[in-house]
């Protein structure tokens, strides 16, 4: 099993998301006025910043996991019955949306099926 990205690529994507979110709250250009006048409006902006940056962080962290992409012959054991009789039911990654307190996070998942118990699961555990 292997990661689907590199640390450098993940950090670059997270930085880009952070810069974009920061520009929405505090634009670098002083000619662009700041939005919001009340603490509640600033808090809403901070929540939007959190959702934008944290969801990107979670997506990149999932892609860095060693179990992010499984290879045939290195599938381990069934998450349900413990049998090693597994096969990749779906080797191509399928984007799956997960709801988190920070917003929707999209992760790539594969599908593994057990020949012993017939159940399927994602080897990444996501």
pLDDT tens digits, one per residue of 74-125 = 778 888 899 999 888 766 777 888 888 888 888 877 888 899 999 988 776 6
Q: How far apart are CA 25 and CA 75, in angstroms?
A: 44
Lowest mean pLDDT, pick from 2-6, 21-25, 77-81, 89-93: 89-93
Percentage of the residues of the chain whose pLDDT score is greater than 70: 90
Sole residue written with tokens 């307190």: 101
Does the predicted TM-score (pTM) go above 0.75?
no
- Count CA atoms closer than 13 A to 111's CA, side-chain side: 9
Q: How sure is the predictor about 27, in pLDDT bands with cuts at 50, 70 and 90?
A: very high
- Confidence (pLDDT) at 97: 86
The answer to whether residue 1 scores a pLDDT higher than 60 is: no
Per-residue tokens: 75: 């599938």
List strand residue ranges (DSSP E) for the chain, in order: 86-100, 103-114, 120-121
41, 35 contact by CB (below 8 A): yes
From first CA to last CA, the distance across the chain in angstroms is 14
Q: How sure is the predictor about 24, in pLDDT bands with cuts at 50, 70 and 90?
A: very high
- Confidence (pLDDT) at 2: 60
- Confidence (pLDDT) at 110: 80
Mean pLDDT on 28-32: 96
């Amino acid at each position: 099993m292997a990661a689907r990205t590199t640390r450098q690529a993940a950090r670059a994507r997270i930085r880009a998301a952070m810069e974009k979110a920061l520009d929405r709250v505090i634009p670098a250009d002083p000619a662009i006025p700041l939005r919001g006048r009340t603490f509640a409006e600033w808090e809403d902006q901070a929540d939007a910043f959190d959702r934008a940056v944290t969801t990107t962080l979670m997506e990149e962290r999932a892609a860095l996991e060693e179990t992010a992409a499984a290879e045939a012959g290195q599938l381990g054991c069934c998450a349900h019955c413990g049998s090693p009789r597994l096969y990749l039911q779906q080797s191509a990654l399928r984007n799956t949306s997960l709801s988190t307190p920070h917003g929707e996070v999209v992760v790539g998942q594969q599908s593994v099926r057990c020949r012993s118990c017939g159940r399927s699961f994602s080897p990444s555990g996501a």
